[in-house]
Each structure stands twice: as structure tokens, then as C-alpha cells.
Amino acid sequence: MRVLRSLFFLAGVLSGCANPTVAVDSDIKRFKAEHKDQIQKIVGRHGTLGYAWSGDPKKRPVVFVHGSPGSWEGWSHFLLNPELQKDFHLIAIDRPGYGESRPGIAVPSLKAQAADVLEVLQVNQSDKPAILVGHSFGGPVIAKAAMDAPHRATGLVFVASSVDPDLETTKWFQYPAQWWPIRVLIPSALRVCNEEILPLKGELKSILPDWKSIQARSVLIQGEEDDLVPPQNQDFLVKHLEPKTILKVIRVHGLNHFVPWKRPDLIIDAIRVVDQE
């Protein structure tokens, strides 16, 4: 059984169901030491939502949405950025099933995921529409939030986002990972990862008619060497978003899936680009 558990853990990592946490460990420790009172929870309409924040709650909110799996911790570098802190209210959430947001309970619905993004905006005091930043699985989540509440999203930053249903494929180990007793041997975060990714193709198909409804200014960031989320996902965004909303398309040679940790400057610049009145 130990061998089997190791196999599925490795399979999860190789499939992209993990973030390179070693690279951000120091930022996480620093944020927890310096801003421990800004790691909080709220009880929303759909249950507990965990998040961390920095900056000025009276300024425009920037909400960071992680991939699968993950947590707010992956955005620590951005929460600690002094220039962003000065100009924005920075909020990084735990998506449903991770961290302090109903841990272990998968929520495959993009509509329900988007509702949590919108729910956390209640902690902002500015009355300004938000900038939403989504990495990987976070990409379709922020898109759905902008579809459902266009007046609450002024800018979108898509970072290596899984958005094209035709590019979603099921790997051999994903179905056995659902079988009992195998599923109980898999770490909770990887189980949730599997349970939300399996139905993602259908979820993405369900929102296909709504892409043109997005009016938020958008920046699209993609690494050409991304072997977890095919770069053609960016082509999907270029095709399905209204051309007038796309402010910048960034495709970087030699860059893989882990844009937030390898090229955070691209995301910081993108936030500035979409922050227009």
C-alpha cells in the first residue's frame, strides 16, 4: 500500500497537481511571521473561505486564484510586494477544498468556485471593481466570475490557464484514483485535485457560449514550454474573448507552467496594465 500511495503521489506531481513550494518557502514564512493577523477566514453563503491579504482595504482589490492544488500561500511573493501593497488591496484565497476553504471537499462547479471569488470581495472597502488573477485552474474560475458578475471585475490576468475544453485529457491514473480504497490512500489535496479536474472538460464546455460576454480588460500570459497546460489554451482565449478587451498577449520562450514563481514580474506588470479607469 505504501508503494501504491507513492505511485499516485508521483503521478499527481507529474500531472501538475502540485506547486513548486520550495521556491516560495521563504516568502510564506516571512508573510506568516509579519502578517499573521492578515491570514483570516470568513463564513460565506457556501461555507468557510480562507484567505490572506495585504495592502489597503480602501483601494482596488486584486484577487489571486491558485491552480490545482494549491493555496493562498503560493501568492506570498505578491502579497509582500511593497509597490502593490501601496496601490491595491491584495487578497489571495484558498479555493474550495484547499487550505481553510472546506478542506478535503471537492467543488467541481466553476460557478460555485467563482462564487467564492466574488464572496471574498466583501472584505474590501473601496467599492471598486476588482482585478482577478488566475493561474492554471484559476483561469476558468476568474473567467466565470467575470461572466457572472461583470460589474465586479474590471481586469483579468490569465496565467497559463486551462480554458480550452478540447485540450482537456484524462490521464490513466485519474479514474483508479477514484476507487475505494485507493482514494483514501491519496493525500487530501491530490484527491481534491483529481475530483475537480476530472469534470473540468464538461465544465469548460458549459461556459463556451459566455466568453464573449466578458467585458473586463485582459492580459494573457503563457510559457511556450508549458508541458502541463498546453500553450494553445492561450490561442483559445485570443479567439473567444472580445478583441477589444485583450490589452496584451505575452508568450515567453523557455518558460514553463510555473509563471508565478519564475516570472512574477510579468504578472505584476499585467496588474498595472489592466488597472485603468
Q: Which residue is it, cell 461583470?
A: 150
Q: For residues 129 and 49, what is the distance between their CA atoms, to the nearest angstrom?
A: 20
Rounded to the nearest angstrom, the gap between the alpha carbon of residue 66 and the centroid of all alpha carbons in its chain is 3
At 104 the pLDDT is 87
Domain ranges of the chain: 2-274
What is the 3-state secondary structure of 134-203? Answer: EECCHHHHHHHHHHHCHHHEEEEEEECCCCCHHHCCCCCCCCHHHCCCHHHHCCHHHHHHHHHHCCHHHH
* pLDDT digits 0-9 by tens, 77-104: 999 999 999 999 999 999 999 999 999 8
Say if CB 255 and CB 160 are below 8 A apart: no
pLDDT at position 15 is 42
Nearest residue to 108 (alpha-carbon basis) of 183, 40, 206, 10:
206
Question: Given this model, what pLDDT does residue 5 score?
Answer: 43
Topology of domain 2-274, CATH: Rossmann fold (3.40.50)
- Which triple of cell numbers denotes residue 46? 457556501
* Residue with the three cell numbers 470581495: 121
Angle CA 35–38–44, to nearest 5: 165
- Residue 92's nearest CA partner among 67, 74, 105 is 74
Q: Which three cell numbers stand for residue 45?
A: 453563503
Q: Give the pLDDT confidence score for residue 192 in this predicted structure.
A: 87
237-257 burial, b if ≥16 CB within 10 A, otherwise e? beebbeeebbeeebebeebbb
Residue 276's pLDDT is 76
> Between β-strands 47-55 and 89-93, what pairing exists: parallel, antiparallel or unpaired?
antiparallel
| Consecutive 10-residue averages of pLDDT for the chain (277 residues) | 40 45 80 97 89 98 96 97 98 96 92 96 96 98 98 98 90 48 60 88 98 98 96 98 98 97 97 89
